[in-house]
Structure 1
């Protein structure tokens, strides 16, 4: 190492009048000569960078790459990069970016700086300079180049397993955030989890399901869509595992105990709960957060849209048909651009009692409608809540509302009893998470069915917002709603969020899908007075548009929509607008060998243990591309992106997607694309697939996979041979997408007997929220079949609880990249 001479030399009797530490001309010349021989700073500087997880798709454990200054290295979008510089004899060091897409350097004034590789569409070089100064302030620098390529899956697939924990890839951490019974309102006691707990209107409900993260400003008082450290988790509590809620399970008897019934009722619905990330990176929820609240089956609601005030929704609670109480069996969801949450009522019909002989007191139309939706004559109703006699007469309506039997002593218009109460369910409900006093609105223009979710698209100025919706039952349909009102971007920031919902959700056209054998499809409008949707229809005489919407299934029947294998979650690719839809499964009793169609093409046997299991027990994922890439279009192209199957099943006719042990799965349910606010949702966005399985659970617990799908039409036409009982066969033509290969991997396996459902992330993509529903659902209080989430940390056993988990990448990068 050569020394750098300081100023202050005197020569030939001349005085040095400049006493600063700035270098002299001779120093500069000498330093330059030194730099020609040694790449240096004081007098040596080396710029190095390490690229975390920079291996190929097949080598995700590649060692940290270290490249000398002037060299080159590579990574992919969404991954963390570490820049390391060394300097000798320096007084200060700093990293700066020279060229390429701008990134945020953390630790830029230290020898080690980090940044997240930005989203790019093609290989893009980023150049960084490491500069060091000596005590005299003379700088020396060296460059390092990082070439960033588009995002790629960056984890090793998790193996199938039947463990009682949530398993995630190496390099990731999972923690439990929000569990059944956790107190969310101030003053509510900690959860004992022994069946003695009460006041679930102030606690986390059961069966965590669809979920969304809404950002909060640092103060916690206002909305901030870009916040990744503080926010609101809004989630559905779909159902209950009743035995674990009570001391000794459900008390037997023809009538239910009021204390048990009210606990079960309050465990349903929706929760809004504040969550925060500590500076150390850990997440927690905030008990008593200012915006925390529960929306339950007893919460007041208002009706909006074409059905508001219709005779078919009038009850003793709302004689004018404009209000109701409660939402139930909330499954999937949707998020609006103006900051509201859509929760969707799925299997609501089974909760209602309807006495034997009730048909005789109803019109023929009412009987047809009730039968089509499964509000069955003679049914006691799930959980038998209608049997409760409340100790306080003022509370009786909490239980009487579940009995829709006609009381012949009351007014014939239904305003004296709850005969029409079932018609108040099956809707999309809009909730404003930022206003705890805002009454939720049921958006009737989106139709009444077994709503799985409502997934929006087309928030483009001057174009009409669109919402895609599945009706989750075997043989039901896929829908979309097109608003009448073109989008105004200013509405995204309006302060009255539900008023914006009035503008876009209360008027529009509801369509149902017909998937044709040609690989094309048509959206059929459900508009009263057009085609067969009139009073002259022989199946059901539609009276008006409200009648069409209340009886959406009947309208779709007569239009000739395509029956699907349980149409559940949908997701819209944020990069190209293509729409994906999970078709969870079907069975031979509902769809026999001769009942396949091009969009639901398989019929086969996948035994569970020794029991035959004919039909489509493993499900599939269909996708469509709207004509002209315009969500308002009335025609589309479709193919099947992915077929669920075990890796060992027939590759020609069952395992058509060529799955192997790293990505085989069954019964796709939850579906979500990563947010376009981070690299996971840009260029080739991540698609997350969650399972709710019964066909493959003899091999593995339910799971979640990550994928980078191609596009509609990237495969080819295919004819498969189906098999039925007794060896019968039949062929079915369909359209199959390109095999996913390593672009699909298993990311997570859940605990025993659970369903994986509900997912969102922070805007930066570095934190993933996932719901684990009903672990140990087949057990009892004395013999639980799972001890999760206690088992996650290896602590003492306890009754299993549905819960939300947080998943982060240990190096701080975007999850899954």
Structure 2
């Protein structure tokens, strides 16, 4: 298979990360005293980077981390590299691939089936992404693995192409819709110690764009949620572009709808210009929607208003996406629920921080250049003695957006109607409109535009919060430089770390620092023999990498980092294929644990309860993986990683 597969992924990424933030929020040099402004306005020297990093430069010496007890693997720059390379003493085997049977009666994957969407409804979806493991109560060797299927690639069909110049076949569109969503599969550890799928489990389940879902929270039944297909505004079919995830203390799975605007179009230019709920999120305006032209076969995705149709037709259908969706993995009959109190944007994750008193927060990035970091604080507390009583806690609470001040302090700004300038005069008639147009509300309150904020992870004991900022080649041109986003043309990204006041997840203030800047080592030279530009130089203590994306802690406090960059771009030549790395939060040392096949993204992590098995996803591999013949159609695949001596991963 050629690299056309990954090139289509790159075309999706091209609109996924377009900067559409029109706000003029101040650069952070205007928020600090004049004595510090010369640092921010001066040249981006390595000394300045050391200041920005809050001590990262002091950790540049090699360290002996007590957490990273494995030998790092080398980068892989071979353009034909087509396998998974894992650290010495470990093995990684394919476990669950696109098209594998999930539900009872599902046929085996047929690479030539172009219109069998009913079969796809029972099979693994495409482009595996975030996932979590849910153990059965009282059992450590049996659980449910729940994972997202973010989007599809044209090789879903034998032609490998999508013709967006003419109406698309409905059966083809239905198959693509069926390949989105979520899979729930039961897994069990066998007598030989190896984990296997339970093929006939009653818990095995597919959730897709064709699954009915309940709308809950402040916008349930609201006029802004009503469409021609759902005049009640209470139910929507499907979830799409599911990227990262979260879990609740009561044992449910949270899937997050990321780049949903790319599935819709509004051809009415006047309506688009006046409708902030379309314009601020970047819906297409002409031609076809940006991804797959579904609207040519399924009118739900044509958000152009039509006066002769109920509620203007489907103009409000985009309002029904961009939410956190709660799924009960242990109840196959339970309807998924879209929780609107979380707010609507291109959400990457919902990372939980749970206090000892039951108070909690969920952290999210909005994955686009110049967007924001958010947290949602439920109004109630989790009662560990009565988990079922917590089932509706996600329907009320406060959505906040972060402002990162240049002195290392930070503020959580409440997105609440009547506060921080969010009122009728500023275009927000109600709290429901604030939540529906969370990006515009964040613009108004003065949040800090960030370099593509993506996954968040919370340390299991300290409750420190880490956030990946993947990259931003428009920084310095479209968004000003600041301490949290200090590099122009930031191709390699960074990771931020912050601490809530008193480690309280509900606090409204925090302190923060740059955990690391990704990129080339100091003193590196390019292929032309010249020194690498300073904006491409990182502060990594250990193995280099670019574009941090996925992020997760294991139970022992190891921070696992996954990357997502175009591995054939000249700036990424020294990075090789995408990677899974591990960092020690204390020493900041980073070590490369695994690399994937050419053209892939490494994403999604889950562990068995004893930490001796880890699952990771290989998304959109560019060539034949998981085959090894160089000819097979590449399939997104979950790999199972175990240690040859049976020990804990990373130990």
Question: TM-score band (shorter)?
Answer: 0.7 to 0.9
Q: Does residue 318 of structure 2 align to residue 383 of structure 1? A: no
Map Cα deviations across residues 682-733 of structure 1 (whole Å, 9 max, x no partner): xxx10000000125543300001011112xxxxxxxxxxxxxxxxxxxxxxx
Give the 3 Å change call, closer, same or farther, for CA 593–442 of structure 1 in structure 2: closer
Do the aligned partners of 1:774 and 1:802 also contact (CA within 8 Å) in 2? yes
Corresponding position of 2:547:
667
The CA deviation at 1:230 is 1.7
Residues 463-472 or 426-435, more deviating: 463-472
SS of 2:614's equivalent?
strand
Separation in 1, partners of 2:67, 2:349: 29
SS of 2:176's equivalent?
helix
Residue in structure 2 matching 1:766, options 612, 617, 628: 612
Do the aligned partners of 2:449 and 2:479 also contact (CA within 8 Å) in 1? no
Corresponding position of 1:354:
266
Separation in 2, partners of 1:386, 1:651: 46
SS of 2:292's equivalent?
helix
The CA deviation at 1:255 is 1.1
Do the aligned partners of 2:185 and 2:198 also contact (CA within 8 Å) in 1? yes
Alignment of 1:269-668 (within 5 A): 269-355=181-267, 358-360=268-270, 365-366=274-275, 368-381=276-289, 382-388=291-297, 399-411=298-310, 413-414=311-312, 417-461=313-357, 463-492=358-387, 494=388, 500-502=390-392, 504-537=393-426, 541-588=427-474, 591-592=476-477, 595-603=480-488, 615-647=489-521, 648=524, 653-654=534-535, 658-659=539-540, 663-668=543-548
Corresponding position of 1:802:
636
Alignment of 1:138-177 (within 5 A): 151-162=66-77, 163-177=81-95
Map Cα deviations across residues 66-99 of structure 1 (whole Å, 9 max, x no partner): xxxxxxxxxxxxxxxxxxxxxxxxxxxxxxxxxx
The CA deviation at 1:183 is 1.0
Corresponding position of 2:559:
687
SS of 1:490's equivalent?
coil
Separation in 1, partners of 2:316, 2:309: 13
Do the aligned partners of 1:643 and 1:655 also contact (CA within 8 Å) in 2? no
Corresponding position of 1:705:
581
The CA deviation at 1:282 is 2.5
Do the aligned partners of 2:552 and 2:605 also contact (CA within 8 Å) in 1? yes
Separation in 2, partners of 1:312, 1:321: 8
Separation in 2, partners of 1:402, 1:257: 15
Separation in 1, partners of 2:381, 2:336: 23
The CA deviation at 1:513 is 0.2
The CA deviation at 1:797 is 3.6
The CA deviation at 1:249 is 2.1
Corresponding position of 2:593:
747
Map Cα deviations across residues 611-667 of structure 1 (whole Å, 9 max, x no partner): xxxx0000000010111121111111100001111232679945765437x510000
Map Cα deviations across residues 181-223 of structure 1 (whole Å, 9 max, x no partner): 001112221112234472211000000000001113xxxxxxx
Separation in 2, partners of 1:323, 1:196: 30
Separation in 2, partners of 1:627, 1:652: 37
Q: Does residue 150 of structure 2 align to residue 238 of structure 1? A: yes
| RMSD between aligned residues | 2.0
Corresponding position of 1:787:
624
Corresponding position of 2:16:
none
Map Cα deviations across residues 339-386 of structure 1 (whole Å, 9 max, x no partner): 10000000000101322xx14457x652x3311011232251121111
Map Cα deviations across residues 483-506 of structure 1 (whole Å, 9 max, x no partner): 1112211233x3xxxx6331x211
Corresponding position of 1:87:
none
Corresponding position of 2:127:
207
Do the aligned partners of 1:333 and 1:452 also contact (CA within 8 Å) in 2? yes
Do the aligned partners of 1:651 and 1:658 also contact (CA within 8 Å) in 2? no
Do the aligned partners of 1:194 and 1:799 also contact (CA within 8 Å) in 2? no
Do the aligned partners of 1:460 and 1:487 also contact (CA within 8 Å) in 2? no
Separation in 1, partners of 2:627, 2:260: 31
Do the aligned partners of 2:122 and 2:206 also contact (CA within 8 Å) in 1? yes
Do the aligned partners of 2:494 and 2:517 also contact (CA within 8 Å) in 1? yes
SS of 1:587's equivalent?
coil
Separation in 2, partners of 1:261, 1:164: 30
Do the aligned partners of 2:319 and 2:436 also contact (CA within 8 Å) in 1? yes
Separation in 1, partners of 2:287, 2:496: 35
Separation in 2, partners of 1:566, 1:247: 34
The CA deviation at 1:325 is 1.0
Separation in 1, partners of 2:513, 2:230: 46
SS of 1:272's equivalent?
strand
Corresponding position of 1:396:
none
The CA deviation at 1:592 is 1.9
Separation in 2, partners of 1:272, 1:670: 20
SS of 1:489's equivalent?
coil
Do the aligned partners of 2:490 and 2:535 also contact (CA within 8 Å) in 1? no
Q: Which of these two proteins has the greater Rg computed from alpha carbons?
A: 1
Separation in 2, partners of 1:489, 1:150: 35
Do the aligned partners of 1:452 and 1:470 also contact (CA within 8 Å) in 2? yes
Do the aligned partners of 2:370 and 2:479 also contact (CA within 8 Å) in 1? no
SS of 2:435's equivalent?
helix
Separation in 2, partners of 1:262, 1:481: 34
Separation in 2, partners of 1:655, 1:616: 7
Separation in 1, partners of 2:637, 2:476: 35
Provide structure 1 residue ranges, at least 5 long, that are not aligned to the other structure: 1-148, 217-223, 389-398, 604-614, 676-680, 711-737, 777-785
Do the aligned partners of 1:158 and 1:168 also contact (CA within 8 Å) in 2? yes
Higher-RCO chain (CA-CA 8 Å, sequence separation at least 6): 2
Corresponding position of 2:5:
none
Separation in 2, partners of 1:477, 1:701: 28
Separation in 1, partners of 2:303, 2:114: 31
Do the aligned partners of 1:427 and 1:444 also contact (CA within 8 Å) in 2? yes
- Number of matched pairs: 570
SS of 2:432's equivalent?
helix
Separation in 1, partners of 2:438, 2:274: 14
Do the aligned partners of 2:612 and 2:646 also contact (CA within 8 Å) in 1? yes
Q: Does residue 159 of structure 2 align to residue 248 of structure 1? A: yes
Separation in 1, partners of 2:582, 2:65: 16
Alignment TM-score, normalising by the size of structure 1: 0.67
Separation in 1, partners of 2:537, 2:166: 50
Residues 504-513 or 247-256, more deviating: 247-256
The CA deviation at 1:281 is 2.6
SS of 1:350's equivalent?
helix
Separation in 2, partners of 1:564, 1:796: 40
Do the aligned partners of 1:790 and 1:798 also contact (CA within 8 Å) in 2? yes
Separation in 1, partners of 2:270, 2:451: 34
Give the 3 Å change call, closer, same or farther, for CA 525–164 of structure 1 in structure 2: same
Do the aligned partners of 2:225 and 2:316 also contact (CA within 8 Å) in 1? yes
Do the aligned partners of 2:142 and 2:186 also contact (CA within 8 Å) in 1? yes
Do the aligned partners of 1:460 and 1:489 also contact (CA within 8 Å) in 2? no
Do the aligned partners of 2:355 and 2:504 also contact (CA within 8 Å) in 1? no
